[in-house]
Amino acid sequence: MLGSLKINVREIRAEMGLSQSELGALVGISSRAIQSYEQEWRQPSELVERMLLLLLVAHRNGTRLSRFRCWEQTECSPGVRKRCIAYAARQGHLCWFLTGTMCKGQRQESWSDKLRLCLDCGFMQALLRPVKAKTHTLAASSLKVGSARASRRRRTPGIRRRKP
């Protein structure tokens, strides 16, 4: 389990469709470490926990992620905004990830304190909400690509196809 989240490393990896070695490479750790987190032999460090949450949030929100602005949803005052790194860097979608943000008007002392506060925040809950599955099929897109290639071959002068 990640902190007080009710989601584990195996679920994150499965949702993203990655192997243990692929997830390990993205996070910068070994596939053995991923395996030990999945088996709950040990808990991820705070850094690994942050990276896994970042990957999950990015996976679930895709290109629309940068449209989220925490200071708008939480209605931060101009004074609080001035002291907040998320506002200064215009990275409202990463407020939970950045050290030095002004959550509820004050900075948090540690990652565990910050994570606890963030997981109770409606903004973070919206970022973690699973996105509905797309109905795109690989077979359909493969057919379109294949037919486009075939039509290009037919139009290419000087190339003759053998008859079977």
The string of pLDDT tens digits covering residues 44-99 is: 888 898 889 888 888 888 888 888 899 988 888 998 888 888 888 888 888 888 87
State pTM to two decimals: 0.65
- Between CA 96 and CA 50 the distance in angstroms is 9
Q: At what angle do helices 31-38 and 20-27 cross, to 10 degrees?
A: 110
Q: Is pLDDT of 41 > 80?
A: yes
3-state secondary structure at position 106 = strand
Which domains are present in the chain?
1-62 (1.10.260.40), 68-146 (no CATH)
The stretch 8-30 carries a mean pLDDT of 92
pLDDT of residue 6: 60
The pair of structure tokens assigned to 64 is 């629309």
